[in-house]
A and B are shown apart, each in its own frame.
Chain A
Amino acid sequence: MVVLLVYAAIFVVSMLVWGRIKRHRDRHDFTSLKTVTFGDESAIIPDRVASVISVVSVFLIWGAFTGSRIVPLHVPGPFIGEAGFSYTARDASGAEAQAPVRILVHAIGAKPAPPVVPEGTGFAKGDAAIVAAWRSVLIRPADNDGPGAQIVAIDGKPIAVDQKIAVSGGAVTLTAKGSLNFQAARGMQMEPIWLPSPEAVVARLIEIANNGFQNTSLWGHLGASLARVLAGFVLGSAVGIPLGYAMGLSGWFRGWFDPIVEFMRPVPPLALIPLVIIWFGIWETGKVVLLFLAALWIMVIAARSGVSGVKLSKIHAAYSLGASRAQIMRHVIIPNSLPDLFTGARVAMGVCWGTVVAAELVAAQKGAGMMIIAASKFQLTDIVVMGIILIGIIGYGIDIAMRMAERRLVPWKGRG
């Protein structure tokens, strides 16, 4: 909640500030002279400054809420140091006595010695405990105060069962069994097990890049995922493109396969995982079959629309220039379908990449998805976050690569 508010505040403030700065810079290109930009799509150019601030602020917020060393500003962290309170006990005879409790709240991972047990007054004896930041600990201060002793007040304030009282360094709750649950003050930062700091993720990345994870190098994991995607995509294209062409060129093929394609198209590949596992097993074959199916329908539809999208006048022109059917296929229909094929390939690669990660979550010995699911079982959140970031970067990279290839190989796209 706070995070969202901070993010929104950065959004608004940076927009206003940058808008002010920009207004002072005189630009006289075509767009800046337009008086109507609201609703004119061509006048909307992504503001690169906004992109940079957007990404930087994500990292700043991430750092600020995880106590990162690379970010100067932090939200309040968890309490660390010596916490304590005093309690009042009443024994069977009704007499009351007071004693202090000392609690050492230490950073996660540190193993300090427990604090010295303080003195009490009367029959109440002091107690000491040790707890890691963010965590809680159960203390039984009345246990050493003689038979029948019960806690009736904390820091002089009367307490009832399930009531919570704030004390220095945290809060205590009285349980039904008469013991105290001390919760160290959490602050606003995230526990590393929920969200590790950016540098912890980077450190993990370096460590895994050097040493690997579960007997496979980082490149081994990512490479395994990519290899599956490529295998599935290539197989899907090898079957899907000719099939799509056939559907675009022959009424029988179209009639035959239309119901199948239209039926399979809306089925998300993830829904096929159980069946694919039953039929092809959980290992490589199953995954490649799944990715093949994910790519297949997309490529069929892309090839089909590539063929049916050819302008009749182009076909007529080619016939009138004396081209044979095979020549029309090779020189007109196939090149004409390339832009559609590229669009399909981009979609297919994206879907395959998402599907492979999901399939690896189910079962795999290697792979990006396997890495994050295995890490999550050991609560290695830094590996999970690292994995998610790598998956995102690779997916983005694939799309950029496909777009670059498209621009080079089908420069005529959209200009027919």
Chain B
Amino acid sequence: MSGLIIDNISMRFDLANGKAVQALQNVSLDLKQGELLAVLGPSGCGKTTLLNILAGFLAPTEGQVRLGGKRVTGPGPERGMVFQQGALFEWMNVRHNIDFGPRMKGMARAERDRITDHLLETVGLHDFGEKAVYELSGGMQQRVALARCLANDPDVILMDEPLGALDALTREKMQGLVLKLWKETAKTVVLITHSVEEALLLGERLVVMAPRPGRIFREYRLPFAERGVNMDLRAVKRSEGFAQTREEILEMIWGMEEEIMGKRESA
């Protein structure tokens, strides 16, 4: 069992014009194995930057990230990624997208096929293995992306607005799928979103970030994800405390937006 520890990281981008952007400042988080963390915040508050640091694509200017006691220094198969869109390999069919990770590891064909067949079933695409990915709808493509990530059996799944480009109905179905997969696989998940509702539905833990400098503004522990595992998501939205928490967070984010606008006007 391995936890994901974000130890006081800061990230500063030095711009070409001599200025610097403090994208993250003193961000610390401690995630236990199997926790689902949703990260919410207005655009430009450093969510993507944080995820890229967790994935190992960026090295923070200060602090470090540790997974299972080992410091993260680059990308690795123990941290799987699901992107918003367009990260599938369209020159491979669905099956080969999903078994990409195992294939690169040199896993035997039979074993790979067993994993892939199982995953196709899990994400509800069991007749689509030989289809070209560009023939699938946006929602189906994201199912493939989830399956591809799971095929590699990572410890942590990092998702950057994975459902952001989907229509409302598909999105709701996919939220249910994410919850189901999280519960079944017991993986640690970090999910970035700019939808308050999605953050509430999926985040067992939720951090709200504020911009300039990007930092953690509030942290929550929420009951809704646990409810969503056994309950219809629409019922969860009607359940006790949901609407109230949503209003509270919306208020908070509106406050941040107004502050940004104010700063811009005075600048």
Contacts and interface: CB of A to CB of B under 8 A. Distances in A.
Interface of A: 311, 313-314, 316-324, 327, 331-332, 335-336, 338, 410-412, 415-416
Contacts of B176: none
Nearest to B145: A317
14 contacts: A313-B84, A314-B89, A316-B75, A316-B81, A316-B87, A317-B87, A318-B100, A319-B74, A320-B158, A321-B80, A321-B104, A322-B77, A322-B101, A324-B104
Given A316-B57, A316-B81, A321 B152 contact: yes
Contacts of A415: 90, 134
Contacts of B77: 320-322
What 9 pairs between A and B have smallest CB-CB spacing?
A: A322-B77, A319-B75, A321-B101, A415-B134, A313-B87, A412-B90, A335-B91, A320-B81, A313-B83
Contacts of B95: none
Contacts of A323: 100-101, 104
A122 B105 CA distance: 114
Contacts, number: 74
Nearest to A323: B104
Nearest to A311: B86
The A interface, classified by DSSP as helix, strand, loop or mixed, is: helix
Contacts of B132: 411-412
B120 interface: no
A330 to B, nearest CB: 10
Contact of B87 (A311, A322, A338, A410): A311
A327 B104 contact: yes
Contact of B79 (A320, A338, A416): A320
B80 A320 contact: yes
A311 B88 CA distance: 10
Nearest to A332: B89
A338 B91 CA distance: 10
Given A316-B83, A319-B74, A335-B89, 16 more contacts: A311-B87, A314-B88, A316-B75, A317-B83, A318-B100, A320-B80, A321-B77, A321-B80, A321-B152, A322-B77, A322-B101, A322-B152, A324-B104, A332-B89, A335-B91, A415-B90
Contacts of B80: 320-321
Contacts of B57: 316, 319
Interface string B127-148: 0000010100000000000001
Contacts of B76: 320, 322
A322 B83 contact: no
A249 B89 CA distance: 19
B104 A314 contact: no
A336 B86 CA distance: 12
B259 to A, nearest CB: 31
